[in-house]
Chain A
């Protein structure tokens, strides 16, 4: 927290209230606690104020006030992030955008929608669904996460294999710059004029400013969808099948891998029809034209069988398809059945290195006396090893963190990345040198300075730095109620 006298603090509170209204400011310690973490409960930091603006003008006024007072500030959506990116690392203001949650406009002729940052991802697909459209980026937390948060992290999801991540669906942004100026980056047309500021803003983890309006592309729902579950007795064979599918000229909408530990947990919790005795399964989805769907599905089945699948099953109907996906999307809640806590990792590797890296992950975790469950976007090479542990056992959490760092090193060694969709935030800022040279980081820092010269906008993130007011501690992950019910998950 920032050091302020009680008088300064109450004066500031009054000023904030004149901007956002009486009910729009929190500063009581108990209330601030609610906002001390995001989905990664390993890190905590307290703000001085949580502010709930209702419009771009209010955001701009709050930011100008922060700028004047030299107070750090950070925007926050639903708080489902997994890298501590929206934490007020140096105190100051948190701007919660949850009151800015409207779909402002849908232009069906041009396949675009204009939305506010606090809009829940899935709610956009609900809004345009009746007309046969949807918003493609589908992070698994899409029932809770906001599109503004998706912008900050350039979020992915299972279907990014075919349709790309958030940035591929964002055309323009109205942004409150760190000095409070409101500026449009990009617009409604497909090609921006000049530098692609929208493209570089997306994924900047809230360090370039605050998006207050977002122009996104919406897509026609596919005519047909087919979902396949391929079951393997060896993880290596499942990994090989991923490359075999690609090698046969197929780009499915999604290729997800689920390992044995995860399938057993899911079966215990929800009974989705996964084989308990298999080493791994691939959940593969094809979408597109109805014509040719059977031919493509047959190619998928052949690729899986040739790679050693013991069983390949096509979902017979929509109900079975939903059940198969429920298992995938509920995996995180299900881990609660087999472990009191777990740490979600996020790394990316070239798809062809899956067999090697999954083997290394298992070795590293075992060497630390821990267990791991894998459920991840295999088609993209985006790993999510979930290291299970018991936070009550002394030293176990430290071993998890150590194993996690080693897994990130392996991802870097095979030419991969330390984050596919969760972002760097606070969690991985010290891992950045694994994949970037000092010159790379210095260049990125210059870009940051161009947007955020004072550094007050979301300080302490992305770049290797000391973690100032942030606490890391023994408070472990506990599933949220909606996760425990299998309604949402963390990625």
Chain B
């Protein structure tokens, strides 16, 4: 990076907040080291950095806690990491309104702690809450097991402030829970991975903390039976807040033993509601082969959010598959089988009630052939697509990313996405080349 440009960045954010050299190692993505990492201390400073980037056509990589930084196509261009970690204020929390406005860099765990102190929570429980930031969770559309009942960012985000590619500050939505004035810009930024603007502040809906919450697990001898059991739960009067399905490898990461599969179900509400539902579940599951219901400790919740990823010390590849809930067990079974045929072991977990499946291939020393890994992932993707779903690589070595497109094919909708990107970031500077449809 030219020295005058570095000086300008230092002038904007203060020299202590510009990293270079070896300090950049935490910000290396897919082998590419950024030219610098800058950490603005205010929305105005973010805007100044983005304006400068626009002026000199310098790519920017917006960065929260870095938990999803490796998601996407390897960065094709050099650029500067724009870290939001200094923007971590809780701007306004009015419990009577059940909303909170916070800056993008607030860490999820800190936010939840502050809300919890007043009997409320943001009903989003993505993995890595101790590092993931609010802005990052929104930009990556991260979610966890409780999405079964409480939905995802699109059900909770009601307002967003972003710094756009030209350095202006734009607000979409608002601070009220119901609002149809203008286009729903918050929706556009959810899952956009920083490609349309830098999220600097967000307003989200909250919920009261439930009186009680309980996570229970039932081992199944056959994955298929567990899949049928999920359908039975979905068709029942029960109102679980989570329905997860994990295979034996992922169950071990939860600290429980299962021969083949484990169904994990969460409930919340009044104590009598939780008790009644757990009792109903126990009797409902017997005909499907789920006999030994056990209660899991509260620590199993965050573990559940990343059970498959944590199954192996070193994963060779991680894929996210979005399928119809009725196809979850088949997706897991067929995926495991196509890997097994090539001598690869896998771990699987799924938010089964909503059809979000995570498949992980175990790393196996140096014998692993990238082409073979890519072939397995391609089969997984084909399986998801055959059922009307889609699948994208969440993590894989460069050689695998080179052999198989990271993102699934968005089809004709991809062209609309490209047009949106071209309108909002005409110089293509915000996280360029890393997203769906070549964006």
* Interface, chain A (partner B; CB < 8 A): 107-111, 153-154, 156, 160, 164-165, 167-168, 177, 181, 183-185, 187-197, 199-200, 202-204, 220, 223, 243, 246-251, 288-289, 291-292, 295-296, 348-352, 377, 380-382, 415-424, 428, 432, 435-437, 439-441, 443-444, 446-451, 462
A190, B355: Cβ atoms under 8 Å?
Answer: yes
- Give the interface size class of chain B: 35 or more
User: If the complex has contacts A349-B176, A435-B174, are A200 and B389 also in contact, measured as CB distance less than 8 A?
Assistant: no
Please, how many angstroms separate the alpha-carbon atoms of A443 and B169 in the complex? 10
Set B155, B211, B326, B407: member contacting A193, Cβ < 8 A: B407
Contact of A196 among B154, B236, B277 (CB under 8 A): B154
Pairwise interchain contact A191-B356, C-beta atoms closer than 8 A: yes
Contact across chains for B154 and A189 when beta carbons are under 8 A apart: no
Q: Are B413 and A197 in contact (CB-based, < 8 A)? A: yes
Least distance between B55 CB and chain A CB atoms (Å): 18
Q: Is the CB of B170 within 8 A of A156?
A: no
Interface pairs (21), CB distance under 8 Å: A165-B180, A189-B322, A193-B392, A195-B417, A196-B154, A197-B417, A200-B184, A202-B184, A204-B183, A223-B237, A247-B95, A249-B211, A289-B269, A291-B277, A348-B177, A352-B96, A382-B178, A415-B175, A417-B181, A450-B423, A451-B416
Partner of B94, one of A195, A202, A352, A417: A352
- Pick from A193, A223, A418 the residue with the most CB of B within 10 Å: A193
Question: Please, which residues of chain A bring their CB within 8 A of the CB of B31?
Answer: none
Q: Which of B94, B177, B207, B410 has the most CB of A within 10 A?
A: B177
A348-B179, A351-B96 are contacts. A188–B408 as well, Cβ < 8 Å?
no
B291: interface (CB < 8 Å): no
A437 to B162, CA, bound (A): 13
Q: How many A-B residue pairs have CB under 8 A?
A: 258
Decide: A348 and B414 in contact? CB cutoff 8 A: no
CA distance in complex: A185, B174 (Å): 25
- Which chain B residue lies CB-closest to A354? B96
Residues in A with CB closer than 8 Å to B407 are 193-194
A416 touching B176, Cβ below 8 Å: yes
Interface flag for B192 (CB, 8 Å): yes
Given contacts A109-B326, A199-B187, contact A443 B170 (CB under 8 A): yes
A381 touches B176 (CB 8 A): yes
A295 in contact with B272 (CB, 8 Å): yes
For residue B103, CB closer than 8 A to chain A, the reply is no
* Contact yes or no, A193 B182, CB < 8 A: no
A190-B355, A377-B178, A446-B423 known; A246 and B188 CB under 8 Å? no
Contact with A along B171-215 (1 / 0, CB 8 A): 110111111111111011011100010000000000111110000
Contact across chains for B414 and A194 when beta carbons are under 8 A apart = yes
Taken together as a complex, chains A and B put the C-alpha atoms of A122 and B152 apart, in Å, by 26
Report the 3 A-B pairs with minimum CB-CB distance, sorted nearest first.
A199-B187, A249-B208, A194-B436
What residues of chain A lie closer than 8 Å to B422, measured between beta carbons?
Answer: 450
A202 to B209, CA, bound (A): 30
Chain A hits for B174, CB < 8 A: 348, 415-417, 435
Q: Does B428 contact A (CB under 8 A)?
A: no
Bound-state CA distance A221–B155 (Å) is 20
Please, which residues of chain B bring their CB within 8 A of the CB of A194?
Answer: 191, 407, 410, 413-414, 417, 435-437, 439
Question: Is B299 among interface residues, defined by CB-CB distance under 8 A?
Answer: no
Q: Taking the complex as formed, is B371 at the interface, i.e. its CB lies under 8 A from any CB of chain A?
A: no
Closest to B426 in A: A446
With a cutoff of 8 Å between Cβ atoms, the chain A residues found around residue B272 in the complex are: 291-292, 295
How many angstroms from the CA of A200 to the CA of B208 in the assembled complex?
28
Q: How far is the CB of B222 from chain A (nearest CB, A)?
A: 19
**A188 touching B388, Cβ below 8 Å:** yes
Alpha-carbon distance between A168 and B322 when the two chains are bound, in angstroms:
18
Q: Of B141, B170, B422, which is in contact with the most chain A CB atoms at under 10 Å from its CB?
A: B170
Residues on the B chain within 8 Å of A250, using CB: 208
CA–CA, A248 to B278, complex, Å? Answer: 25
CB of B144, distance to nearest CB on chain A (Å): 13
How far apart sit A234 and B181, CA to CA, in the bound complex (Å)? Answer: 31
A292→B183 contact, CB < 8 A: no
Expressed in whole angstroms, the minimum distance between the Cβ of B439 and any Cβ of chain A is 8
The residue that A191 contacts in the complex, of B96, B99, B141, B181, with Cβ under 8 A, is B141
* A260 to B181 Cα, complex, angstroms: 29
- Tell me which of B183, B355, B413, B420 contacts A189 (CB under 8 A): B355
Residues of A within 8 A of B218 (CB): none
A451 to B424, CA, bound (A): 13
Q: With the chains together, A154 CA to B185 CA distance in Å?
A: 13
When the two chains form their complex, are residues B388 and A187 in contact, meaning their CB atoms are under 8 A apart?
yes
Contact of B182 among A109, A197, A248, A424 (CB under 8 A): A424
Minimum C-beta distance from A386 to chain B (A)? 18
B171 nearest CB neighbor, chain A only:
A440
A378 CB to closest chain B CB (Å) equals: 12
A202 to B97, CA, bound (A): 25
A449 touches B208 (CB 8 A): no
CA of A160 to CA of B158, assembled, Å: 14
Cβ contacts under 8 Å, A164 to chain B: 151, 155
Asked whether, in the complex, the Cβ of B270 is within 8 Å of the Cβ of A199, the reply is no
Residue contact B416 to A183, C-beta cutoff 8 Å: yes
Complex Cα spacing A351 to B96, Å: 7
User: Please, how many angstroms separate the alpha-carbon atoms of A192 and B181 in the complex?
Assistant: 24
For the complex, give the distance between the alpha carbons of A450 and B239 in Å.
Answer: 40
Task: List B contacts of A446 (CB < 8 A).
Answer: 423-424
Contact between B97 and A184, CB atoms less than 8 A apart: no
Interchain CB contact under 8 A, B190 and A196:
yes
How far apart sit A14 and B388, CA to CA, in the bound complex (Å)? 40
B97 contact from A289, A352, A419, Cβ within 8 A: A352
Known contacts A196-B191, A437-B171, A439-B168; A432/B413 CB under 8 A? no
- A195-B355 in contact given A200-B183, A289-B277 (Cβ < 8 Å): no
Taking the closest CB of chain A, its distance from the CB of B75, in whole angstroms, is: 18
B390 on the interface (CB 8 Å rule)? yes
- Interface status of B323 (Cβ within 8 A of chain A): yes
Q: How far is the CA of A296 from the CA of B422 in the complex (A)?
A: 51
Beyond A289-B269, A351-B97, A415-B175, whether A191 also contacts B322 by CB under 8 A is: yes
Are the C-beta atoms of B208 and A195 separated by less than 8 Å?
no
- Residues of chain A contacted by B151 (CB below 8 angstroms): 164, 168
Q: What residue in chain B is nearest A431 (Cβ atoms)? A: B181
Q: Which residues of A contact B183 (CB under 8 A)?
A: 200, 203-204, 444, 447-448, 462
Task: Verify A193–B178 contact, CB threshold 8 A.
Answer: no
Q: Are B325 and A110 in contact (CB under 8 A)?
A: yes
Which residues of B sit under 8 angstroms from A168, Cβ to Cβ? 151, 154-155
**A423 to B208 Cα, complex, angstroms:** 29
Q: Is the CB of B180 within 8 A of A423?
A: yes
Quote the shortest CB–CB distance from A33 to chain B (angstroms): 29
- Flag if A291 contacts B424 (CB, 8 Å): no
- The yes or no answer to B297 lying at the interface (CB within 8 A) is no
Residues of chain B within 8 A (CB-CB) of A160 are 178
Whether a CB of chain A sits under 8 angstroms from the CB of B378 is no
For A382, list chain B residues within 8 Å (CB): 178
- In the complex, which residues of chain B have a beta carbon less than 8 angstroms from the beta carbon of A422? 180
Listed residue (B98, B414, B416) with the most chain A CB atoms within 10 angstroms of its CB: B416
| CB of B417, distance to nearest CB on chain A (Å) | 5
Residue B8 at the chain A interface, CB threshold 8 Å? no
Q: Which of these, B184, B190, B235, contacts A203 with CB under 8 Å?
A: B184
Smallest beta-carbon distance A352→chain B, Å: 4
